[in-house]
Amino acid sequence: MSENYKFDTLSLHAGHIPDKETGSRAVPIYQTTSYVFNSTEEAASLYNMEVGGHLYTRISNPTVAALEQRLAALEGGASALACSSGMAAMHLVVSAICSSGDHIVASSKMYGANINLLQHTMPRFGVNTDFVNPNDPEAIKRAIKPNTKLVFGEVIGNPGLDIMDVPEISKICNSKNIPLVLDATFNTPYLMQPFKHGANIIVHSLTKWLGGHGIAIGGAIVNGGNFDWGDKDKFPTISGPHFALGGISFWEEFGPSALIAKIRAEGMYNFGPSLSPTNAFHLMQGIETLPLRMKKHIQNTHSILDFLVNHEMVEWVKHPDLETHPDHEVAKRILPKGSGSIVAFGIKGGREAGKAFIESVQLASHLANVGDAKTLLIHPGSTTHSHLSSEAMKEGGLTDDMIRLSVGLEDINDITKDFERGFRAVKKLNK
Amino acid sequence: MIINFKGAKTYIGTGGKSLDVTKMTLCFLHGAGQNHLSFIQQARFFAYKGYSVVVPDMPAHGFSDGNPCKSIKENAEWINDLLVELNIKDVVVIGHSQGCLVALELNRILKSSFEALIFVAGSNEIPVNQFLLELSKENPQKASQMMVTWGHGIDGDMSINKWPGHSHYGEGNNIMCMNKPTALRYDLHSCNDYSDGIDAAKNIKVPALAVLAKNDQMTPLKSGLKFVELIKNCETHTLDCGHFLPSERPMELNSIINSFLLKLK
Ligand SMILES: Cc1ncc(COP(=O)(O)O)c(C=O)c1O
C-alpha cells in the first residue's frame, strides 16, 4: 500500500496483479475480439463512455491495457494508449489534435517516416508543417504561428542523433499554450522521462528498445495530463463537442486524460490501428528487462565508442556522449545515464568501404531496425540511400561512408572482434 | 456547464446531459484538493440513467474561479446557495471525503428538500496531520502528490485501473494540479477544523448510505465505521480499495448507489 514503487519494480509489475480465479503470474494473453456484456445496461454504459471497460479489441483489450498502464506508470503520465506501430501512434496524435488549416512545427532531423507523414501526407489533408533545426529553441519559437497546434520532435533524432533541449523547448511551448509532443523511442523512459522536463505528450515506437527483442511491431502514446486543452477555439477536437457520445467535451469530462479518451473514441474507432494482444504480451516481456538491458546497451555503447574513436580505419564517430558532438552539453544535462545506443561512424574509403565492412561482419546483423538486443548495422549509402549521389546524401545530412550502428548486448569483445573482421576487409579493398 | 455565480466563473459538470431540475438531482461534492473529475465514472453513469446530475467545481477548484471557501460551513453555504440558484429541489447529496463533511453541514441548512445523503469514504471528522497542513501551504504540488499516493490502495501502486490505459497516480496528480494553488490548503484546514460532525450525523433524518474503503488511509475505515453508528439506519458497505473509491471501484460503487436510489423511488 502506497509504496511508490521504483522504476525497476514498475517495469516488472505495473499494469497487472494476478487475478483471484487463476492466479496467473504472467499477464494473460486475452486473445479475443470481444467481451460478453452482463446486461444491456452495462453494454450501454460502455458505449456511452460512462465507465471504463472493454467492448471490442479494436478499442481496448485487457492485455493491451496492462501494457498501456505499465507505460503510463514508467513515464509518470496520466494515461496511455498502445497501437499497432510507432507510426500509427504518431498519426493518431496528429489527427486527434489537428484539422485542415492547422499548422505544426517539427524538427527537421527525424526518422524518415515521421518527416514524410508531416511533409507529404498531412498537407493533402490541409495540415502543414514547418521544419526547423531541433537544437535551436529560438528557431522553434519563431516558427510558431497563431494556427500552430503542436510542436513535434525526437528527443534523440534518428539517424542524426541531434538532442532536443526539452526543458527549453517546453518552456517556449508552455508560454504559447501549445503541446510539446516528443518521440521518445531512442531514449525510453529509462534514460529520460520527458514529462519531468515539461513535455506534454510522448510517442513511442515500442518495436525498438522498449520491446527490445525485434519480435513485435508496436507503438504507444502517453499523455502527460499536464496540458490545458480548455481553449475551445484552438483545440475544438479535444474541448469542443465530439460528433458522437452526445457531443461530449473530452476535456470537461476526462480532464488530464482528454487526449487519450479522444483518440480511443475517434482514432481507434475510425482508423482502427489496434495492437494485437499477443504482441502486447511480447512487448511487455521486453519491458520487464528494460532497466537491465538499457544499462548494458549504454555500457556496450561506451566501450564501442572507445574502440571506434581510437581505430585507424575510422574517419569519424558521432554520439551525443562524445565531447565532439555538438549537443554534448545538452545530452549531459538531460540524459545523464547516457544518450542511447545508436552510433554513427564513417569508414575511411567512402561508400565502397562501407559496403565492404557491412558485407564482412558476421555477428552484427545487416538490417533496417534499431533497438534490438542484438547488434544491428546498416550502411545507408549502399542500401536505403544507394540511389542518391554523395552530394545529395550530404544535403540530407548523411554521408556515403556512414554506418549506423545499434549496439546490442553481446559480449563486447565479440562485437569488436567482429568489427575488426569488417575493417580487415576494408583494408584489403583500400590496398 | 459554466455559470456566473456569486460573481465568479463556476463550472458544474452535468454528466454530458443538460440539466433538468424536474428530475431527481444527484449533487456530487468532491473531496479536499479535488474537483468534478473525481467523479468521472459517476457523472455520466447517473446522467445516462436518467438522473439530473450536478458536479460543481467548488470555488478555485477545477474550472471554477473565485476564492476558496475557508471552512466546511462556508462550503455548505456556497452549495446551498448554488442549489437555490439552479432551482434544484429534490436532491440526493453524494459526498466524497471532505464532501461528506460538507454534506453533513448542508443537511443542517437545507432540511426541506433533501431526499437522501450518501457518504463515500467519509467520516464525521477528518483530522489532518500538521506536516501535510504545512506542506499544503509551502508546496501544494508535493502535498497533492503525497495525498494521491496515500489515497489509493494497491491499484495505485500497481497502475491497475478499470479504465483501460489510465493511471490513478498520473491522473490524480494532474486533477489536483488543475486547482488554484491555495485551494488545497484551505480545504485541509477546513477538514481539520470541523468539529460539528457528531451532532450533524446524529441529526440526519433522511435515508443514508455510506460506502467505505477497507484500505482508506485518509479517512480510516475505523473512523468511518464509528461515524455510521451515529446515523440512524445508515446502510453501510465496505469495498476493498483505498480512499479514491469512485475511481478505484467505479462499477461496485455505482451499483450500490443505484440500488439505494431505486429504493428511494
Ligand atoms: C525514432 C522513430 N520513431 C518512430 C519509428 C516508427 O516506428 P514503427 O516502426 O514501430 O512504426 C521509428 C522506426 O524506426 C523510429 O526510429
Tell me what the mean pLDDT of segment A388-416 comes to.
89
pLDDT at position B265, please? 78
pLDDT at position A163, please? 97
Instruction: Read off the CATH number of the domain in which B62 is found.
Output: 3.40.50.1820
Tell me what the mean pLDDT of segment A146-155 comes to.
98
Given a contact cutoff of 8 angstroms between Cβ atoms, the answer to whether B127 and B104 are in contact is no
Does the pLDDT at position B80 exceed 70? yes
**Cross-sheet strand order for the sheet of A128-132:** A79-83, A219-223, A201-205, A180-183, A148-154, A103-107, A128-132
Domain span at residue B74 reads 2-264
Does the pLDDT at position A298 exceed 90? yes
CA A206 to ligand 1: nearest atom: 10
Cα separation, A270 vs A244, whole angstroms = 12
Interface probe, candidates B167, B177, B252, chain A, greatest A C-beta count within 10 A: B167
pLDDT at position B111, please? 62
Ligand 1 centroid vs B81 CA: distance in angstroms?
Answer: 55
pLDDT at position B30, please? 98
Q: Ligand 1 atom 15: the closest Cα is on which residue? A: A111
Q: Which residues of A touch B17 (CB under 8 A)?
A: 246
Is some CB atom of chain A closer than 8 A to the CB atom of B17?
yes
pLDDT at position A114, please? 94
Q: Which residues of A touch B245 (CB under 8 A)?
A: none
- Per-residue confidence band for A380, with pLDDT thresholds at 50, 70 and 90: confident
A217 close to ligand 1 (CB < 6 Angstrom): yes
A188 close to ligand 1 (CB < 6 Angstrom): no
Cα separation, A91 vs A270, whole angstroms = 13
How many Cβ atoms sit within 10 Å of the Cβ of residue A430? 13
Does the pLDDT at position A385 exceed 90? no
Does the pLDDT at position B112 exceed 70? no
Q: How many CB pairs under 8 A join A and B?
A: 152
Its pTM stands at 0.97
Which CA distances in Å does B182 have to A256, B68, B149, B160, B169? 20, 7, 20, 31, 21
Is some CB atom of chain A closer than 8 A to the CB atom of B173?
yes
Q: How far apart are the first and last CA of chain B?
A: 27
CB nearest to A78's CB, from B156, B164, B167:
B167
Instruction: Tell how far CA A236 is from the center of its chain.
Output: 26
Is some CB atom of chain B closer than 8 A to the CB atom of A338?
no
pLDDT at position B73, please? 97
- Per-residue confidence band for A2, with pLDDT thresholds at 50, 70 and 90: low
Please give the residue of chain A at the shortest CA–CA distance from B162: A52
Given a contact cutoff of 8 angstroms between Cβ atoms, the answer to whether B155 and A41 are in contact is no
Q: Which residues of B touch A79 (CB under 8 A)?
A: 163, 165-167, 170-171
Q: Measuring CA to CA, which residue among B240, B175, B253, B97 is closest to residue A51?
A: B253
Does the pLDDT at position B210 exceed 70? yes
Q: At what angle do helices A62-75 and A277-288 cross, to 10 degrees?
A: 30
Given a contact cutoff of 8 angstroms between Cβ atoms, the answer to whether A54 and A35 are in contact is yes
Does the pLDDT at position B261 exceed 80? yes
- How would you classify residue B54: left for phi > 0, otherwise alpha for psi between -120 and 50, otherwise beta? beta
Cα separation, A351 vs B58, whole angstroms = 68
The 10s digit of each residue's pLDDT in B3-27 is 999 999 999 999 999 999 999 999 9
Which CA distances in Å does B55 have to A234, A338, B14? 26, 47, 6
For the record, the C-alpha cell of B21 comes out as 431540475
Domain total of chain B? 1
Please give the residue of chain A at the shortest CA–CA distance from B177: A226
Cα separation, A115 vs A97, whole angstroms = 18
The 10s digit of each residue's pLDDT in A408-424 is 999 999 999 999 999 99
B207 preceded by a cis bond (ω within 30 of 0): no
Tell me what the mean pLDDT of segment A339-352 comes to.
95
For the record, the C-alpha cell of B113 comes out as 428538500
Please, how many CA atoms are within 13 Å of residue B103, restricted to the half-sphere of its CB?
33
Given a contact cutoff of 8 angstroms between Cβ atoms, the answer to whether A267 and A96 are in contact is yes
Q: Which residues of B touch A4 (CB under 8 A)?
A: 149, 157
A50-64, B30-44, B101-115, B164-178: the lowest-pLDDT one: B101-115
**What value does the mean pLDDT of chain A take?**
96
The 10s digit of each residue's pLDDT in A91-128 is 999 999 999 999 999 999 999 999 999 999 999 999 99
Tell me what the mean pLDDT of segment A209-235 comes to.
98
A342 close to ligand 1 (CB < 6 Angstrom): no
Pairing of strands B52-56, B25-29: parallel
Q: Which domains does chain A have, with CATH numbers?
A: 7-286 (3.40.640.10), 290-430 (3.90.1150.10)
Cα separation, A98 vs A288, whole angstroms = 35
Cβ of A77 and B154 within 8 Å? no
Task: Say which residues have a Cβ less than 8 Å from residue B47's Cβ, sequence separation at least 6.
Answer: B14, B15, B16, B17, B53
Cα separation, A394 vs A399, whole angstroms = 5
Q: What is the ipTM of this complex?
A: 0.97
Does the pLDDT at position A1 exceed 70? no
Given a contact cutoff of 8 angstroms between Cβ atoms, the answer to whether B166 and A72 are in contact is yes
